[in-house]
Each structure stands twice: as C-alpha cells, then as structure tokens.
Amino acid sequence: MRDDLAAARQRDPAARSDLENALVYSGLHAIWMYRWTHQLWISGRPGARFAARVLAQLTRTATGIEIHPGARIGRRFFIDHGMGVVVGETAVIGDDVLMYHGVTLGGKSLVHGRRHPTIGDRVVLGANASILGDLVIGSDSVVGANTVVTHDVPAWSVVTGQPGVARPRRTGATGDRATPLDEPLSSS
C-alpha cells in the first residue's frame, strides 16, 4: 500500500496527502481490491475464484474500474481518474505503469488462453487508449490518448493514431531518451 500511495503522490500533482488519497482515489481502491482478489484467484481454494469474481464486480460497481482477478499487475501501478478502465483476465502489467481513464486492455479473440496485452515497465497509457489482443507494449513507451493498438510496440516508443503507429521516443537536441514520467520512481 505504501508503494501505491507513493506512486499516487509522484504521478498526480493534485495529490495532497496519503490520507486523502487513500480515502478518495478510486484508482487506489480498485488496485487494492485487485491485489486481494488476485490472491483469492491464485489460491486454488474451493470457491475462491467465484468469490474473487464477485468481489471484482462489486469493486467495478463502486469505482468504475474493472480489473479481472486473473490479471497480473506489478508494483506501483497507478490509475489516474480511473473511470471506464478495463483490464482483462490474461493481461500482464509491469512495474511503474501509469494508466489514465477509459483505457482498455482487452482481447480480440474468443479462444481460451492468452488473449490480452502485456504492458512493459514504466509505460504511460493515455486516456481512452485501447490495447487489444495478445501483444506487447515495450518498456518505457507512451501510448497516446484515443490510440488503438493491435500490434507489438518496441521499447522506447510513442504510439499514436487509429490504428496505432509506433515511432522511437526521443527528446532534446542531443537525442537523449526521455522517461515516461517526469521523475523516476523510487523503489521504496
């Protein structure tokens, strides 16, 4: 929980205090409930998956954020403004990912097995982006608002458009690579 609160402070300039964030940030509430439901999901206890799905749906009703308990999410994941976020069952999200409202990590097939995206570390997913299918968004990439991604994206890319087109991510006159976040997160 401390990592999640630190991520909120570092990624949201409107964050005032850990107490306020813990009480009013629906993204934090959804992540905390996900972490609990995920433990139920992987426990193997009788009825645990059913209970995890019920709790996940109650969380969706309360927060507007739907995270399947089967998804795998890394540390310091932050959902800013959250409403309308959907994370599918086989989605994998790396560490230090920032996701804005309306993002969908969805499937595009009805087959069983891997059908949702893998999001690398330190990726920023812009508002209303749709990342669809069993694909990989490479680490340190940025997916622009309203972008529809249906193919793999290399690390250190910026993806924009419908369909999404990736280009290398550069900044400054020297061509130094930028980081997706203004300040790197500490691993405290």
Domain-embedded: residue 107 = yes
Side chain identity, residue 5:
L
- Distance CA(89)–CA(72), nearest Å, equals 8
Q: Are 53 and 32 in contact (CB under 8 A)?
A: no
Element (H, E) at 48: helix 48-63
For the chain, the domain total comes to 1
Domain-embedded: residue 182 = no
pTM of the model: 0.86
Q: Are 34 and 67 in contact (CB under 8 A)?
A: yes
pLDDT in tens, the chain (188 residues): 888 888 887 887 788 888 887 888 899 999 999 999 999 999 999 999 999 999 999 999 999 999 999 999 999 999 998 899 999 999 999 999 999 999 999 999 888 889 999 999 999 999 999 999 999 999 999 999 999 999 999 999 999 999 988 899 876 544 455 555 544 444 44
Domain CATH code at residue 83: 2.160.10.10
Residue span of the structural domain in which 60 resides: 2-168
Domain-embedded: residue 61 = yes
Provide the 10 A C-beta neighbour count for residue 152. Answer: 15
Side chain identity, residue 76:
R
Domain-embedded: residue 181 = no
Domain-embedded: residue 35 = yes
